[in-house]
Amino acid sequence: MSDQKIAVVTGGSRGIGRDTVLRLAHSGVRSIFTYHSNRADAETVAASLAEAGAPGVALQLDTGEAASFDSFAAQMKGALTTLGVTRFDYLVNNAGTSSNRTLETVTEAEMDELYNVHFKGVMFLTQKLLPLMNDGGRIVNISSGLARFAMPGRIGYGPIKAAVEALSRNMALELAPRRIAVNVVAPGPIATDFSGGMVRDNPEVNRMIAENTALGRAGVPEDVGPVIVGLLSNGFGWVNAQRIEVAGGMHI
């Protein structure tokens, strides 16, 4: 790997992904990050990266559309050329949307969407991008506390995130010959736009979370970004196939 590291972060335009790419920029790592539909926010993040002295590239991607990943990989090659390199070092599979459904109300279409965005997307995007990744790189897949504990209305989302954790262990095993470490960051409830901004904007939900969290509050993106960046840093090179819950001690 060259000294100048390059990260690919999906869903880097808002929330946890945005905190991650901004933080990476401040530690000298340039990012190719994706957004889904919110181009304006992506452009604001790109401007901040340039200001931080680590210009990045924003690309549009729907992680639920695996059929588009070949053309995304082609765009990635162009973005790498823009950054003056041919390969990247770190992949953070972060993009995602929520689903608040019970066993009684969940539909097949919603389950298919969750599977496509959160599981199939992570698997096949990683598959398509691996040829562009340096040996010795790192992958961080974003799961959720809901892979470990249940909460009302999360019948699809929690189990799909649990599947991502199993996927990550298998990735770690298969990518070991290339010395690529694969870890999982599992945030607790984080105050972002996610789930309609529920954790941030609904006082009742926010209070319930605080009451069930040892450290007494809901999380913010600035709680999670440093952990992701830490897992990509030199000192964490021997951490592999692990799940780190970043939830202030929820439901312990």
Ligand X SMILES: NC(=O)c1ccc[n+]([C@@H]2O[C@H](COP(=O)([O-])OP(=O)(O)OC[C@H]3O[C@@H](n4cnc5c(N)ncnc54)[C@H](OP(=O)(O)O)[C@@H]3O)[C@@H](O)[C@H]2O)c1
Sheet holding 88-93, edge to edge: 57-60, 30-35, 6-9, 88-93, 133-142, 181-187, 243-246
The C-alpha atoms of residue 58 and residue 13 are separated, in whole angstroms, by 8
- Judged by beta carbon, residue 58 or residue 85, the one nearer ligand X is 58
Q: Interface mask (CB under 6 A) for ligand X, residues 205-234, using x and -? A: ------------------------------
Which region among 35-43, 51-59, 72-80, 166-174 touches ligand X (by CB under 6 A)? 35-43
The two structure tokens encoding residue 96: 């995602």
Q: How far is the CB of 181 from ligand X (least distance, A)?
A: 20
Sole window of 1-9, 21-29, 78-86, 188-196 interacting with ligand X (rule: CB under 6 A):
188-196
Residue 144 annotated among the catalytic residues of the structure? yes
Applying CB under 6 A, the span of 47-55, 100-108, 187-195, 235-243 interacting with ligand X comes to 187-195
Residue 199 CB, shortest distance to ligand X, in Å, is: 5
143 catalytically annotated: yes
Name the token pair of 227. Answer: 């952990």
In sequence order, which residues have a C-beta less than 8 Å from that of residue 159 and are 6 or more positions away? Answer: 147
The residue whose Cβ lies closest to ligand X is: 15
Question: Where in 141-160 is the site for ligand X (CB under 6 A)?
Answer: 142, 144
- DSSP E strands in 36-132: the ranges are 57-60, 88-93
In Å, how far from its chain's centre is CA 104?
Answer: 29
Using CB under 6 A, which of the segments 57-65, 68-76, 104-112, 124-132 binds ligand X?
57-65
| Binding residues among 61-100 for ligand X as defined by CB under 6 A | 61-64, 94-97
Sole binder of ligand X in the list 117, 172, 228, 229 (CB under 6 A):
117
Q: How is residue 149 annotated by DSSP?
A: S
Of the residues 99, 144, 168, 195, which is catalytic?
A: 144
State whether residue 102 is helix, strand or coil: coil
**What three-state secondary structure class fits 221?**
helix
Q: For residue 126, how far is the Cα from the chain centroid? A: 12
Contact 24, 7 (CB under 8 A): yes
Give catalytic status of residue 195 as yes or no: no
Nearest to 186 by CA among 143, 235, 222, 155: 143
Among 110, 162, 169, 193, binds ligand X (CB under 6 A): 193
Q: Give the residue numbers marked as catalytic.
A: 143-144, 157, 161
Residues near ligand X, by CB under 6 A? 10-11, 13-17, 34-38, 41, 61-64, 94-97, 117, 142, 144, 187, 189-190, 192-194, 199
